[in-house]
Structure 1
């Protein structure tokens, strides 16, 4: 497998990087938080070894296949991992899917919005993409509100066989102001 060496999104308080096997403990914690299981998925990750296999077989595999995936997001100041954010390419969706998840201790502090905006900026400037989508569990109003704050618009629902559920569907499209600037 080969992985992109950069550039990666960045923001004032956050650094994005590829996950590694050393992040297994963080993934184990994140993927077993109640909101993660409720709103994203219960991947059955219950040990550090399973988390390491997930990183290699799923997370890094997405980067190898598509050049993008869910970057590990850490605080610039301390290097502490706080979540994941990035783009997921799904066969059933027209555009790459903006995905994000933060540890509960870091929610409500603007990190989700900052991470999402950093990925949008990276998408526009570095990847030259003009549209993205996002999906959320229909009861996940917090994530839906965050998506609206960074410029996504609700566009109904989609049933994805990949996840086996119907999700609320959002679209972000690059809009130009009259002066021609993005």
Structure 2
């Protein structure tokens, strides 16, 4: 991947790098039962654990992957974090994975779709990528529906290192998406 010059852009949301001061948000998001069920149980049960996760996992991922990862998504009006969205480089996948997770208080507002579309545009224009993939838990119907709504096509299932069980696998041709 090429190191991007900027951040993804969207009308209502601001993308920014995670900071240690985001630990309370991470702890709240990652201890949500839906996050644990559909994404993973990272054991983030305290602010200290969230701070360590940001410092030891999240920020190094951005450095290792040339400036891309899961950005904090904040409302432009309030600057309050509402979720995470970005690109994940995973062992076992041939291309970057569109990933997202939104806090339970901010679901159903169209933020995931808006953020995902911004990531698609960014991946195409800033990174020069022609394809992205995405994975979801097989029982996460909302996430699967969102991916198909924004142009991803189901492409079977994958068993990946560091992920328990089987994931539904989706691929998008970025050149054909608007």
Give the gaps of 5 or more residues in structure 2. none
- Deviations, residues 141-162 of structure 1 (Å, cap 9, x unaligned): 0000010111100000000121
2:91–2:161: 8 Å Cα contact kept in structure 1? no
TM-score (norm 1): 0.92
C-alpha change, 1:159 and 1:176, in structure 2 (3 Å) is: closer
1-structure distance, mates of 2:135, 2:144: 9
Which stretches of structure 1, 4 residues or longer, exceed 4 Å deviation after superposition? none
2-structure distance, mates of 1:146, 1:26: 23
User: Equivalences for 1:145-160 in 2 at 5 Å?
Assistant: 145-160=145-160
2:16–2:71: 8 Å Cα contact kept in structure 1? yes
- Residue in 2 aligned with 1:94? 94
TM-score (norm 2): 0.95
1-structure distance, mates of 2:112, 2:77: 17
How far does residue 61 in structure 1 lie from its aligned partner after superposition? 1.0
2-structure distance, mates of 1:176, 1:110: 22
C-alpha change, 1:176 and 1:43, in structure 2 (3 Å) is: closer
- Deviations, residues 67-119 of structure 1 (Å, cap 9, x unaligned): 21000000000000000000000121011000000011111111000000000
How many residues are treated as equivalent by the alignment?
175
CA RMSD, Structure 1 to Structure 2 (Å): 1.4
1:55 matches 2:54: yes
1-structure distance, mates of 2:4, 2:56: 19
2:130–2:174: 8 Å Cα contact kept in structure 1? yes
